[in-house]
Amino acid sequence: MNLDPRERLRRTFGPFLGRFGRLNAVQEAAAPLLLDGKSAVIAAPTASGKTEAAVVPLIERWVPADCTSLKLLYVVPTRALVNDLVRRLEGPLASLRISLVAKTGDIPTFKAKEQPAVLITTPESLDSLLCRRRGLFDQLTCMVLDEVHLIDGTARGDQLQVLLRRLPDVQRVVLSATVADPQRLVERYAGHGAVIVNTGEARPIDLKLVKDVKDVIERLRSVGRIKALWFCNTRAGVEEVAAGLAAIWPRDRIVAHHGSLERSNRRESEAALRDWTWGICVATMTLEVGVDIGDVDAVVLDGPPRTVSAFVQRVGRGSRREGRVTAIGLCREEDDEQAFELLASLAAEGRIEPIETLPDPSVAVQQILSLVYGTPKGVSRESLGPILEPVVDSVALSMVLTHLEDQGWIELGRGLVRATTKTMDMGEKGRIHSNIPNVAEKVLKDARTGKAIGSSLVQVEVGQLVVIGGRTRKVVGVDAGSVSLDSADGPAGRTTFAQRRRGGAFSWLLPDVLRT
- For residue 29, give the CATH number of its domain: 3.40.50.300
516 residues of the chain, pLDDT tens digit each: 466 777 899 999 999 999 989 999 999 999 999 999 999 999 987 778 899 999 999 999 999 999 999 999 999 998 888 988 999 999 999 999 999 999 987 666 667 677 899 999 999 999 999 999 999 999 999 999 999 988 998 999 999 999 999 999 999 999 998 787 889 999 999 998 999 998 756 667 889 999 999 999 998 888 777 899 999 998 889 999 999 998 899 999 999 998 878 878 888 888 888 889 899 999 988 887 767 777 788 899 999 998 888 898 888 888 665 667 779 999 999 899 999 998 888 888 777 777 777 899 999 999 999 999 999 999 999 999 999 999 999 999 999 999 999 999 999 999 999 999 999 999 999 999 999 876 545 667 777 777 666 665 555 667 777 666 656 777 877 765 677 788 776 655 555 555 444 579 999 999 999 986
Report yes or no: 467 and 242 within 8 Å, Cβ to Cβ: yes
The reply to whether 294 and 392 lie within a common domain is no
- Considering the domain architecture, whether residues 304 and 324 belong to the same structural domain is answered as yes
Residues 39/320/355/360 CA torsion (nearest 10 deg): -70
For the chain, the domain total comes to: 4
Could you tell me the residue range of the domain that residue 392 belongs to?
A: 362-436+504-514
Q: Check whether residue 247 and residue 372 sit in a common domain.
A: no
Query: Are 37 and 153 contained in the same domain?
Result: yes
Same domain, 342 and 383: no
Cβ neighbours of residue 160 under 8 Å, at least 6 residues apart? 75, 123, 145, 148, 151, 189
The residues pairing with 228 across neighbouring beta strands, listed in sequence order, are: 280, 298
Please check whether residue 495 lies inside any domain of the structure.
Answer: no
Q: Does residue 494 lie in a domain region?
A: no
Which CA distances in Å does 387 have to 10, 73, 132, 165, 413?
39, 20, 19, 6, 19
- Same domain? For 102 and 226 the reply is no
pTM: 0.80
In a domain, 136, yes or no: yes
Q: In this structure, what CATH number is given to the domain that contains residue 367?
A: 1.10.10.10
3-class state of residue 265 by DSSP: helix
Q: Do 214 and 272 fall into the same domain?
A: yes
Residues 144, 10, single domain; the answer is yes
Residues 373, 333, single domain; the answer is no
Taken as a whole, the chain contains a residue count of 516
Indicate whether 104 and 41 sit together in one domain.
yes
First to last CA, the chain: 56
Same domain, 318 and 265: yes
Domain ends where: 348, 374, 392?
Answer: 348
pLDDT at 410: 98
Query: Are 171 and 230 contained in the same domain?
Result: no
- The answer to the question of residue 401 being in a domain is yes
- Give the integer Cα–Cα distance in Å for 197 and 195: 7
The verdict on residue 498 lying in a domain is no
The pLDDT of residue 226 is 84
Of the three residues 318, 348, 378, the one that is the final residue of a domain is: 348
